[in-house]
Amino acid sequence: MPGGQFTNLKAQARSLGLEERWHEVAQAYADANMMFGDIVKVTPSSKVVGDMALMMVAQGLTRAQVEDPAVEVAFPESVVDMLKGNLGQPPGGWPAPIQRKVLKGEPASTDRPGAHMPAVDIEAVRQKASKDLNVPPLDDEDLNGYLMYPKVFSDYVSRHKTYGPVRVLPTKTFFYGMEPGEEISAEIDPGKTLEVRLQAVGETTEEGDVRVFFELNGQPRTIRVPNRSAAAKNPRRLKAESGNPLHVGAPMPGVVATVAAQAGKPVRAGDLLLTIEAMKMETGIHADRDGNVKAVHVAPGAQIDAKDLLVELG
């Protein structure tokens, strides 16, 4: 595992509730790497191996089960993209059995990635991105980020509008928050620094909110924010019944990104039902049989836990 990925993967594991199972994640990483042919692991191929490892641990899958053609597996989209050839080809190509299982009959490319991409009108894209995101024209650095990772950049802009320039926070504070009595400095503009001291955090309400008491440049402030580490006392989601082939459950915690399934509509084996996103890892959930959609229990943006019932087939 590349050293630079270690901390990122640990943060991903924490967000999925797998921090206490880190030894399993590390072993799954080694297994996934060998399953893909012991590939060269640099960004983004290293992240793909990490995505696969997290999925294996979250779903309780072994390498043997993932490679078994009889075991249905919802592979992360990054894995599908890599084995399609969109990151290039390792020496000797991808291991054929796992490539066949991941692609489910879709063709793979052996050309140079990007060889068939159309030319980009830089200024036209700059103006379109500015209009679509409702922001001033992007500078070259942000435009490059948008061109390479349009969805990630769009999510970043959305969060920036909600939370402000969180990039100025110390890294430890960004990942783990502050403890009562702790003080940090954040330079939000050249020469403009905020001094923030956390005083106390109140009790969690039934709605899942807490009051946060702090000082901003010496002035006392109080705000109410969601407590993400505590579940609100709202009705819990239904769980998929183990062994029920008509129940489609969530393979891991995350957020529903898109929903393609519609109640009352027919689906065929392999059809995309919905996609789940967790820490920039997107996983497509596909129908494993022909049938009709009896009910869809989630909508885009819904926060879900592992084994939550997503779709019922009839």
Task: Tell me if 94 is assigned to some domain.
Answer: yes
Q: Are residues 48 and 98 in the same domain?
A: yes
**Residue (of 15, 3, 1) closest to 280 by Cα position:** 15
Cα 42 to Cα 13: distance, rounded to the nearest angstrom? 19
Tokens linked to 256: 């529903």
Task: Tell me if 113 is assigned to some domain.
Answer: no
Close Cβ partners of 250 (under 8 Å, ≥ 6 residues apart): 240, 276, 304, 305, 306, 307, 308, 310
* pLDDT tens, per residue, the chain with 314 residues: 888 888 888 888 887 888 899 999 999 999 999 999 999 998 889 999 999 999 999 889 999 999 999 998 889 899 999 999 999 999 999 999 999 999 988 999 999 888 888 889 999 999 999 999 999 999 999 999 999 889 889 988 988 888 888 889 998 998 888 999 999 999 988 899 999 999 999 988 877 889 999 999 999 999 988 887 665 555 567 898 888 989 999 888 888 999 999 999 999 988 999 999 876 678 889 898 899 999 999 999 888 888 899 999 98
Count of positions (residues) in the chain? 314
Q: Are residues 131 and 193 in the same domain?
A: no
Beta bridge partners of 183: 197
Cα 312 to Cα 44: distance, rounded to the nearest angstrom? 35
Q: Are residues 34 and 74 in the same domain?
A: yes
Cα 113 to Cα 84: distance, rounded to the nearest angstrom? 10
| CATH value at residue 129 | 1.10.10.60
- The number of domains in the chain is 4
Q: Are residues 217 and 296 in the same domain?
A: no
Cα 251 to Cα 59: distance, rounded to the nearest angstrom? 6
| CATH value at residue 303 | 2.40.50.100
Task: Tell me if 130 is assigned to some domain.
Answer: yes
The sign of the CA dihedral 302, 246, 306, 32 is negative
Q: Are residues 203 and 294 in the same domain?
A: no
Question: What is the arrangement of strands in the sheet containing 272-278, beginning at the earlier edge strand?
Answer: 281-286, 272-278, 254-259, 303-304
Tokens linked to 282: 């997107």
Amino acid at 120: V
CB contact at 8 A, 223 and 163 = no
Q: Are residues 219 and 253 in the same domain?
A: no
CA angle (76, 80, 82) in 5-degree steps: 115
Helix %, strand %, coil % of the chain (to 5): 35, 25, 40
Task: Tell me if 281 is assigned to some domain.
Answer: yes
| Parent domain of 212 | 168-226
Cα 177 to Cα 196: distance, rounded to the nearest angstrom? 12
Task: Tell me if 109 is assigned to some domain.
Answer: no
Bridge-based pairing state of the strands 219-226 and 183-189: unpaired
CB contact at 8 A, 206 and 232 = yes
Q: What is the pTM (predicted TM-score) of this model?
A: 0.63
| Sequence-ordered strand ranges (E) for 75-120 | none
Task: Tell me if 196 is assigned to some domain.
Answer: yes
The sign of the CA dihedral 117, 38, 97, 92 is positive
Task: Tell me if 238 is assigned to some domain.
Answer: no
Task: Tell me if 233 is assigned to some domain.
Answer: no
Q: Are residues 211 and 284 in the same domain?
A: no
